[in-house]
Each structure stands twice: as structure tokens, then as C-alpha cells.
Copies of this chain bind each other. A is one copy, B any other.
Amino acid sequence: MLNEKSLSVSPDCSECPIRHRAVCARCETDELERLEEIKYYRKFEAGQTVIWSGDRMEFVGSVVSGIATLTQTMEDGRTQMVGLLLPSDFVGRPGRSSAAYDVVATTDLVMCCFRKAPFEEMMVRTPHIAQRLLEMTLDELDAAREWMLVLGRKTAREKIASLLSIIARRDASINQRDVGDRLTFDLPLTREAMADYLGLTLETVSRQVSALRKDGVIELEGKRHVTIPDMGRLLEEAGDDADGGVFA
């Protein structure tokens, strides 16, 4: 269930990513109007849980701004982040009734949501929506498998470099920067969240970030503001040669 702290925002959002990425681009006008009818916005504050694992899912949607994470937890408290949701990423499982993971806003977050039942109904009537969703799910699957290599076989230093290169690349594409230039961004994750993503402890994350800084692979201003002087070098450190990770 949505947290009571969430609240609707303006119902108009011309840059709503689902409009471009998932649904509207190829829709006929009447479907587009129907979509507008079932669309609404939700806002969450940093730290709020969007959905708890096991909760009934009543919407699907996508991230408009901010960052959310998908997390799994074992009974003894060990946690593993299994997905990082950046603007334009899709959330939800057409055809599934309950959430499989905790979804947590790590920064202030705006989501564009569609009520699930009418969305699914529309999916049946409009085949290209199902196809677009299949494509997006295949991308996520590739990303998850890419991450399995990171978790299973990379060293701590390579893991940090992999994560930084993914965030840098995504950030560059959102802000229309050229990868290859000096990239600069704010880390949207605490050291602990990074550790949960990478299967490490926060102390190891801190040490390896310091080491990469000392070696000139990254520059830091404060704790969170990162600049990558040489993306090629970072990718080498990540063990990805040049082409880099697929993570969406």
C-alpha cells in the first residue's frame, strides 16, 4: 500500500517518461486519453518506503524524478539491493498482485502511476504496450544478470568502480552530457546503500572510495559530489572493457 505520507501533485507532466518510453509514443488518440484518465502522481520523501514486499500492488508506474531502490531482506537482517530505479524506470508487475521487494525512495521521489486494473485491461487491447513492456523487462533482466557478474566475481574496488560508472552513465544521459567529457554528479546513495547494492560492508565501501580518490580515478568534493576525470580509466578499474555495463 502507498504510504499515507504520499500525496498527489499536479496531474499534468509533459515529460512523464512513461509517455515516451512505455506507452504513449505509439498510441492512438483514444488510448492516450484513456491513459490520462487513469494516471496520477505520487510524491515521496527521502527515506519513505513506497511499497513493502508482500503488499498488494495497486499501481504500476515510472519514476519521474528522484531515486528509488528495490531491496530484499533475509530474516537475520542481511539485505541486498536488487535494483536501482532512476528517472524513466518502470515499477510494477503487470499480472502480479503483490510486490516481491521493498521499494524505498532514497531521495525525494515523484512517480507517475497508473491504476493497475485498467492499465492491464488496456494492455490486452493495445498489443504494442505489452511489447514495449516486454522489451523493458528484457532490459531489466540483462541488467540483473550483468549485476550477477559484479556480485559474484568482482573485487571490492571493481564493484565500486562498476557502480560509479553506471551512475555516471545514467546521469550523463539524463543531463545530455557527452560520456568522455569530465563527468560530474551527486551520489544519490549513502555508503551503506552502496554496500547493500554491492554485497559489501559500508566500511569497505568507504575505504575503496578513498583509495580510488587517492589514485586519481575519481575526485571528491565533500562526501557525495563526484567527478570522473577519465571515464575510460574508471571502466578499466571496473573490469568492464570500454563498452561497459548494461545496467539500466
Known A78-B153, A153-B80; contact A101-B145, beta-carbon cutoff 8 A: yes
Contact with B along A123-166 (1 / 0, CB 8 A): 11001001101110110111011111101110000000000000
Q: Among the listed B130, B137, B239, which residue makes an inter-chain contact with A141, where contact means beta carbons less than 8 Å apart?
A: B137
Q: Which listed segment binds B: A2-10, A13-21, A91-99? A: A91-99
Once the chains are docked, how many angstroms separate the CA of A241 from the CA of B131? 36
Nearest Cβ on chain B to A88's Cβ, whole angstroms: 18
Complex contacts, A93 vs chain B, CB 8 Å:
138
> Does A217 reach chain B (CB closer than 8 Å)?
no
- Interface residues contributed by chain A, number (CB under 8 Å): 43
User: Contact between A199 and B152 (Cβ–Cβ < 8 Å)?
Assistant: yes
User: Contact between B80 and A148 (Cβ–Cβ < 8 Å)?
Assistant: yes
User: Contact between B149 and A148 (Cβ–Cβ < 8 Å)?
Assistant: no
Complex contacts, A138 vs chain B, CB 8 Å:
93, 95-96, 137
User: Contact between A145 and B72 (Cβ–Cβ < 8 Å)?
Assistant: yes
Contact with B along A222-248 (1 / 0, CB 8 A): 000000000000000001010000100
User: Contact between A94 and B151 (Cβ–Cβ < 8 Å)?
Assistant: no
Complex contacts, A144 vs chain B, CB 8 Å:
141, 144-145, 148
Complex contacts, A74 vs chain B, CB 8 Å:
149, 153, 239
Residue contacts A-B, CB under 8 angstroms, 10 given: A72-B146, A93-B138, A95-B134, A123-B131, A124-B131, A127-B127, A127-B130, A130-B130, A141-B141, A152-B199
Q: Can you name 10 extra interface pairs (CB under 8 A) apart from A75-B241, A80-B153, A152-B198? A: A70-B145, A74-B149, A78-B153, A82-B148, A82-B149, A95-B131, A130-B130, A137-B137, A144-B144, A144-B145
